[in-house]
Amino acid sequence: MVKKKSRSQRARAKARQAAANPVVRGQQAFHQGDYDAAIAIWKQALGEKASCRVTAALAEVYFRRGLTRFHRDGQRPAGLSDLAEAARLASDDLRYTYHLGLAHHHQGNLDMALAAYRLALDADPSFVRAAELAVLALLEQGQNPVQTAAWKALPLDHQAEFRPLVGLLGGQPLAVASTSPASGGARLWCALAAFQSGDGGAREALLPFAQDGDEPAVVRALAAYALGLDALRRDRQEEALGHWEAARRLGLDTPSLWGNLHQLYHAQAEEAMAAGRWSDAAALADAARSLASEGRDLTELTLAAHFHAGHAEAQAGRWHQALSHWEKSRDLGENSRELLQNLALAYEKNERFEEAADLWRQVVRCRPRRADTLTRQQVALLWGHVAECYRRAGDVEEAVTTLRNAVKNDPDNTDLRLELVDALVAGDRWGAADNELGRILRKEPENIGALVRSARIAEMGWYAARAKPTWRKILALEPNHLEAQERLTDLLEREGDRLLRFGKVGEALECYHEALTYMPEEPYLYLACADCYFDQEDAEAARREMDRAFAQKVDDLDVYHSAVDLCHVQGRSEEAEWVIVRAEELAGPQQPHERLPAGFFLDLAGCCFKRRQTEIGDDYVRRAERAAVGDAEGLVAVALFCLDRDDEGRAVSYLDQALRLDPEHGLANLHMGLSYATVAEMREANRHWRQARRTARQTGDQELLKMVEMSQRYFQTAIDMIERGLPPPPPLNLDLGMFDDDDDTD
Amino acid sequence: MTTQTEIGDPYKVLGLKRGASHEEIRRAYFRQVREHPPETDPEGFKALRAAYEQLRSAGQRAETDLFLLQAPPPWEPPQRRRQATFDLSLHRWELLAAARAFTDLARDDFRDDYQAVRL
């Protein structure tokens, strides 16, 4: 007994059969819009077994694919071929014939289009769409359609709509009043007919078409164009321009529109030029050229308009706009010297020095060569200016080349030669610069500019002291020459230091003394002399020199610091103490707490520790602690010094004292917060950091703010990592930059 | 370094034409200074002084003239006035293009012409 299949089994079996059936598969593809697949499957099915229904279906799918390809995808030949195939497969279906005709019509194949329309009309004389397009095709072919079968196939109201157009095209326009058509097309033809016949009411009839956004763009554009023609007939150029620009924006693209716009812009540009409205003229001429650029008159007008407009803009200080106008002038072929010079000026004003330099170069080259025009000195000045622009553009090579041209034209111009020297130096051509300086100095041995440059070049050499005689000569000629004073002092000081290192104390002292003749207000030179006297075991003279140093900058603690340090380096504790006493006498009263601050002693302590003079260093720390009493800044400085020396207990004690004096102290709160954070008392730590942040914001101390944020972030990360069983991050490094470890103790 | 071209037109500052004589420059400067004395208009006076310095000596003036803005040649319209020629007629192609807008030639969506497939 055969077992009966279940309902689901039956359904699955049916689906399997359907899947195997190409007709069904083609239908599925068709419904999914996969026309390629549907065509392939159904063609295969037809090959296996002829079927009227499948043939009709295949025609429909060709039709749909043809329409899509032709009208949507821009594949016109392929679309046309599909439509032809649809019409071949189902020649009795007039839709296919009509659309084949329509496609030919689009392609400009009017004969083939007409043949298709006629075929459709023969089969069905009531096919109005075919009749309409057949009439239009006949009109496009220049034929009168009125006596044709297509015309007769049109309903009377359609004939009424077409009649004004037929009249217009045939040169026999019908008056507006003669018909009262309802449709848009007919009203447009009547309005245009009114325009053609010069009827005064044409404007009113055309305006609604131009302004109605619901009308097709091409209709609005044609109405606007006709309105422009009408305005021009009444000599209203501005109005015509407005209508024609609207027509252009709406997509009207006909030779007559472009030609008329071109003429109108050109005429308006001429008017603007005559009235001296240069910018308007330039814009109008540009517009005319954008439509048709031929014509020498228009080109000349355009470049002149831009030249004038640029000049007006430059005179008003609008150099960017001036440049834009002149560039257009140049691009149109204007290359007069005047324009080149203006362009060069404009490039300079716009800081485009490379282009400016190139143009100035052209200006010099195309200068008039008559003897009565430019002197050689003026030519040299121009070359000098070219060089200056190249220098500003960073092109040293060209600057040198053009400066050489300048010098060639005016060889006696020392300023130009010095500029050449500077350019050569900028190009690292030291030898050439030195030679040029030699030429100047042979002629003018006392030229200060040349001597200064010569000394500078000498200093660049391997033996800087070679520059000394030149600096001395400059000072002999000009005793107050600041650069010479500073450079010679520096060279002598360095020479003195070198001699001192070699133990030539007497010679070193001579150098320092000479340096002091140029810069007698420099305290460190006196300290250098004191150093020499210590070497000569003349402590009295050393004290005298140090006192002179203090007299130069009485309240400058750095000078006292250097003096104390010098004494300790020399092992002169007694003199060091004397310096501190002098500092207390002279500089102490000038300080905020009328005494030497803790920081002064801490700096000294730091230096002593670096030199391993521990006992002396400790003594200075104690002095610092005494100086810090009642001074929050001093207490914080001591605290930070203690932290730097890993003495956190004392640091916390000083921070605590500082916060009692000034609870809002930013640095004290930051470091107190850090101390609490290291023992995991985050509540207290955060309280101090909040205060530190407030202070930082109030005082605008961005660095402090950054340090507070870094500290908080660091400890948050550290806590997270420890809680997750990970190793903590490396220690926090807040670089305070207060006690630098530079090796500058000697 | 201030270059020559960074200074404005000194003739314009002094209200003079480019070809002004030395005497005219001098008189224009003193007249302008009376109108902009340094006590009441220090900036104006500074500009006048700078302009005068540029034109004071023949040598300096020649140098200044080298770097001045150049006026364009005066515009001379073409001797024979150009007659604008407009095409004031409507052409067939313009009318026919509009006529197409009222037909199927202006459409690109013909889905209403589709028919169902019956198999």
Task: Quick: pLDDT tens for A12-38.
Answer: 766 666 667 888 899 999 999 999 999
CA distance A549 to A719: 55
Contact A86, A62 (CB under 8 A): yes
In this complex, is the C-beta atom of B93 within 8 Å of any C-beta atom belonging to chain A? yes
Count of residues making up chain B: 119
Which candidate in B12, B67, B85 is best for mutational testing of the A interface (most A CBs within 10 A)?
B67
Torsion over CA: A684, A686, A690, A691 (sign)? positive
Determine, for residues A339 and B70 on separate chains, whether the beta-carbon distance falls below 8 Å.
Answer: yes
Contact yes or no for A266 and B100 at CB 8 A: no
Chain B CB contacts of A160 under 8 Å are: none
Kindly report which listed range (A73-82, A525-534, B58-67) carries the lowest average pLDDT score.
B58-67
Q: How far apart are the first and last CA of chain B?
A: 92
Tell me if A168 and B90 make a contact (CB, 8 A cut-off).
yes
Distance (Å, rounded) from C-alpha A486 to C-alpha B26?
44
Residue B99 has pLDDT above 60, yes or no: yes
A188: confidence class by pLDDT, cuts 50, 70, 90: confident
* Separation between Cα atoms, residue A330 and residue A345, nearest integer Å: 14
Joined together, the tokens standing for residue A33 give 């819009």
Q: Which of B78, B115, B117 lies closest to A297 in CB terms?
A: B78
Q: Decide if pLDDT at A741 tops 90.
A: no
pLDDT at A578: 93
- Cβ-Cβ contacts under 8 Å, A311 against chain B: 69, 71-72
- Residue pair A560/A582 in contact (Cβ under 8 Å)? The answer is yes
For residue A96 the two structure tokens come to 């296919």
Written as six digits, the tokens of A693 are 């942040």
Q: What is the pLDDT of residue A745?
A: 37
SS3 A4: coil
Average of per-residue pLDDT across B9-23: 87
Token digits of residue B36: 């902009």
Asked if B87 and A57 come within 8 Å (Cβ–Cβ), the reply is: no
Report the C-alpha gap between B31 and B48 in whole angstroms. 11
Above 80 in pLDDT, residue A171? no
Contact indicator for A654, A671 with CB cutoff of 8 Å: no
- Smallest Cβ–Cβ distance between B98 and the set A222, A270, A381 belongs to A222
Note the pLDDT of residue A744. 41
Q: pLDDT value at position B90?
A: 87
What pLDDT is stored for residue A18 in this prediction? Answer: 63
Q: Which residues contact A204 (CB under 8 A, 6 or more apart)?
A: none
User: Model confidence over A138-152: pLDDT tens digits?
Assistant: 999 999 999 999 999
Q: Does residue A301 carry a pLDDT above 60? A: yes
Give the model's pLDDT for residue A729.
Answer: 73
Short-list A223, A199, A227, CA closest to A213: A223
Whether residue B62 has pLDDT greater than 90: no
Tell me the average pLDDT across A110-123.
Answer: 96
**Closest-CA residue of chain A to B61:** A378
Residues ≥6 apart with Cβ < 8 Å to A393: A353, A354, A356, A357
A30 in Cβ contact with A57 (< 8 Å):
yes
Residues A24, A18: Cα–Cα separation, whole Å? 6
* Inter-chain residue contact B117 with A57, CB threshold 8 Å: yes
The answer to whether the beta carbons of residues A551 and A520 sit under 8 Å apart is: no
The pLDDT of residue B110 is above 90: yes
The pLDDT-based confidence of A740 (bands split at 50, 70, 90) is very low
Spatial distance between the Cα atoms of A721 and A736, rounded to a whole number of angstroms: 26
The residue ranking higher by pLDDT, A68 or B84, is: A68
pLDDT at A170: 81
Question: Helix (H, G, I), strand (E, B), or coil: what is residue B37?
Answer: coil
CB contact (8 A) between residue A348 and residue B5: yes
Please tell me the predicted confidence (pLDDT) of residue B98: 87
Which stretch of A218-232, A698-712, B14-28, B67-81 has the lowest confidence by average pLDDT? B67-81
**Residue A736: is its pLDDT beyond 70?**
no
ipTM of the complex: 0.79
How much is the pLDDT for A15?
65
The yes-or-no verdict on residue A172 having pLDDT over 50 is yes
How many angstroms separate the CA of residue A150 from the nearest CA in chain B? 15
Give the mutation candidate from A141, A154, A315, A355 for the B interface (greatest B CB count, under 10 A).
A315
Tell whether the model's pLDDT for residue A178 goes beyond 70: no
Question: Which of chain B's residues have a Cβ under 8 Å away from the Cβ of A222?
Answer: 94-95, 97-98
- Of the candidates A724, A722, A695, A692, which has an alpha carbon nearest to the alpha carbon of residue A709? A692
Contact B97 A218 (CB under 8 A): yes
Range with the poorest average pLDDT among A563-567, A716-720, B34-38: A716-720
* B73 or A112, higher pLDDT: A112
pLDDT at A326 over 70: yes
Q: What are phi and psi of A290, to 5 degrees?
A: -70, -20
- The whole-number pLDDT of residue B5 equals 52
Q: What is the pLDDT of residue A177?
A: 45
pLDDT at A179: 46
CB contacts of A168 in chain B (<8 Å) are 90, 95
- Tell the burial category of A261 from Cβ atoms under 10 Å away from its Cβ (0-12, 13-18, 19+): buried
Q: Which one of A23, A136, A388 has the shortest CB-CB distance to B99?
A: A136
Q: Is A229 in contact with B88 (Cβ distance < 8 A)?
A: yes
A389-422 pLDDT per residue, tens: 999 999 999 999 999 999 999 999 999 999 999 9
Question: Residue A742: is its pLDDT beyond 60?
Answer: no
Q: Which of A39, A100, A102 to mutate to test the interface with B (most CBs of B within 10 A)?
A: A102
Report residue A722's pLDDT band, with 50, 70 and 90 as the boundaries: confident
Q: Can you list the alpha helix ranges (DSSP code H) found in A275-369?
A: 278-291, 296-315, 319-331, 337-349, 353-365
Residue range A674-681: mean pLDDT, rounded: 86
- pLDDT grade, residue A130 (50/70/90)? very high
**To probe the interface with A, which of B1, B2, B4, B5 has the most A CB atoms within 10 Å?**
B5
Confidence bin at A319 (pLDDT 50/70/90): very high
Chain B residues within 8 A of A136 when measuring between CB atoms: 96, 99-100, 103, 105
Q: Which of B72, B105, B118 is opposite residue A311, by nearest beta carbon?
A: B72
CB contact under 8 A, A263 and B85: yes
Question: A253 or A293, which is more confident?
Answer: A253
A431-455 mean pLDDT:
93
Least confident of A36-50, A585-599, A676-690, B89-103: A585-599
Q: What is the pLDDT of residue A176?
A: 45
Instruction: Render the burial of A144-183: b for 16+ CB within 10 Å, e for the rest.
Output: ebeebebbebbeeebbbbbbbbbbbbeeebbebeebebee
Mean pLDDT of the A158-163 span: 88
Mean pLDDT of B60-69: 85
Nearest chain B Cα distance for residue A526, angstroms: 38
Contacts of A542 (CB under 8 A, 6+ apart): A530, A531, A533, A534, A572, A575
Contact A218 B100 (CB under 8 A): yes
pTM: 0.67
* pLDDT for A596 beyond 90: no
Q: Between chains, do A60 and B117 touch, taking CB under 8 Å as contact? A: yes
Q: What is the mean pLDDT of residues A736-743?
A: 43
A647 or A101, greater pLDDT: A101
Distance CA A442, CA A431 (A): 16
Residue A529 has pLDDT above 90, yes or no: yes
Place A731 in a pLDDT band, splitting at 50, 70 and 90.
confident
Q: How does pLDDT run across A492-507, given as a tens digit for each residue? A: 999 999 999 999 999 9
pLDDT at A282: 97
pLDDT exceeding 90 applies to what percent of chain A?
62
B 20-39 near A (Cβ less than 8 A): none
Residue-averaged pLDDT of chain A:
89
CB contact under 8 A, A184 and B5: no
Question: Between the CA of residue A525 and those of A153, A320, A406, what are the distances in Å?
Answer: 118, 55, 45
Closest partner residue to B87 among A64, A216, A256, by Cβ?
Answer: A256
A142: left (phi over 0), alpha (psi -120 to 50) or beta: left
CB atoms A165 and B99 under 8 Å: yes
- Under the banding of pLDDT at 50, 70 and 90, the label for residue A5 is low
